[in-house]
Amino acid sequence: MNMPTRHRIASTRSSAPHGIVKAEITGSRRQRREGRFDDDCGQGAGPGRLLDPSGIADRHTDRARRIVQRVFRDYPGAVAVRLWNGETLNFGAGAPEVTLVFHHPGLFRNLILNRDPLRLAEAYFRGELDVEGDLYAALRLKDHLQSLNFSAVERAAFLLGALFPGSIPESHRGGPAHWRKTFSDWFTRRHTRKGNHQAIAFHYDLSNAFYRLWLDEQMIYSCAYFKNAQEDLDQAQRHKLEHICHKLRLKAGERLLNIGCGWGGLVRWAGAHHGVHAHGITSSRQQYEYALKMIQADGLQDRVTVELKDYRDLPGDAVFEKIVSVGMFEHVGLRNVPLYFGLVQRLLKPGGLFLNHGITQDQEGWRKTLGAQFINRYVFPDGGLDTVSNARCVMERAGFEILDVEALRPHYALTLRHWVRRLESRKAEALRHVPEPVYRVWHLYMAACALQFEKGDIGVYQILAAKKGTGIDAVPLTRRDLYVEV
């Protein structure tokens, strides 16, 4: 039977029409029901003969083939699936954008029986599944897979088909132990000093050399600020640093605190270009050591310092004229956000300015969604996002007046696309610094985040605030001064 072009299924294993293949399979089943066995083993047909193992493998493949055909029957794009025996099934018109390569039938069994959407991602990390072609196209399959609505008969057939022998071979069970932590282990992590330090090490202490491969020359691990979509990443990150400094209206001699300073790019920029005394804190030892080295290389020891410190251990009252936090409040845990903004309020001098740059989501609270599970299990064990409106409310309750809010969602989508391209282009070098599963986690994570920012599921905002009751001259009357060319 000829299928519509949009739902075409082609196999590279055989040129036989679909009906002939179906007839051969049906005939084989009839033989088994009648007690006649495959005589490929050289013993002839007849009752009591053992089945050839190759016949069992064929049945496994047949079941998997039918599951794949049903799953992608109505897929509107072009995709291919290559099975463990080399057979490739093509769906849709034209050349496939992406090919999913399954290395063992046991993966199908686990996907169906466990019903865990993250299992597909885990299979990719461990090398049980490969992706050839456009990774973004593979990620867009998520919407199609989540839209599937199988009948009771189909679900029963899938479960029956999953109950065949076969397990994941030992060679495909790779990955260090800490990548196999369950979601509940990470999700219930308490935001103690020890817990936060472990989470920071999990994410940031992989290797400075690994991050250097795909970050910009300043080692800025947050969204850039593009003046146009064609601008290169290095220039866009310089724009972002200067944009923050302009918003804070930095003046020479002022004290600036950067909570979560990363590799020190912002404190070094502010000290070198605006003459402030900048102090940064980080919980990552590798970031701290790198920042110290770069401060010395730039000759900024007299005005720029960094410290290995938890934000909760910052002492003093009214110490800094300006405070900035970039990509930090997402890590403190939603329950600790009031504590976090309260600490900033305590450290800020009267009339001082605070800029919070952070990622948000379009739903309140950090729920156990697929995206949340993925992030907490593999990328940010302590991560938690909320809406921008909730973040603003907590800042106001802490005693801040909101002066300015700027959405940077398109900028982060562009930044992530740059990071993905850079990482892909230097994969061989990356694998000298991190194992293959870690590379795959980062590759998939950043590509998925790019799509989420483009879709609007998550956003990023800069919120500029001042202590209440500090007069009317905390910032100029217009924003004209923000847009001075770098």
Catalytic residues: 449
Cross-sheet strand order for the sheet of 98-102: 10-11, 88-91, 79-82, 98-102, 129-133
**Sole residue written with tokens 């309260």:** 342
CA distance 261 to 327: 9
**Sole residue written with tokens 């300073």:** 261
In terms of Cβ atoms closer than 10 Å to its own Cβ (0-12, 13-18, 19+), residue 176 is exposed
Radius of gyration of the chain (CA): 28
Alpha helix ranges (H) inside 53-170: 53-71, 105-114, 118-126, 135-147, 152-162
Residue 100 structure tokens: 């999913």
Strand partners, 131: 100
Residue type, 272: A
Report the SS3 class of residue 91: strand
CA distance 70 to 148: 10
H helix and E strand count, the chain: 18, 12
436's enclosing H/E stretch is helix 436-455
Nearest to 266 by CA among 226, 304, 293, 214: 304
Asked whether the beta carbons of 112 and 157 are under 8 A apart, the reply is: no
CA distance 222 to 485: 21
Asked whether the beta carbons of 233 and 298 are under 8 A apart, the reply is: no
Task: Report the sign of the C-alpha dihedral through residues 282, 425, 456, 97, in that order.
Answer: negative
Residue type, 419: W
Alpha helix ranges (H) inside 127-278: 135-147, 152-162, 183-187, 193-204, 208-214, 233-247, 265-274
Residue 375 structure tokens: 């992030």
Residue 159 CA to chain centroid, in angstroms? 31
Asked whether the beta carbons of 265 and 219 are under 8 A apart, the reply is: yes
∠ Cα 267 272 274 (to 5°) = 85
Residue type, 41: C
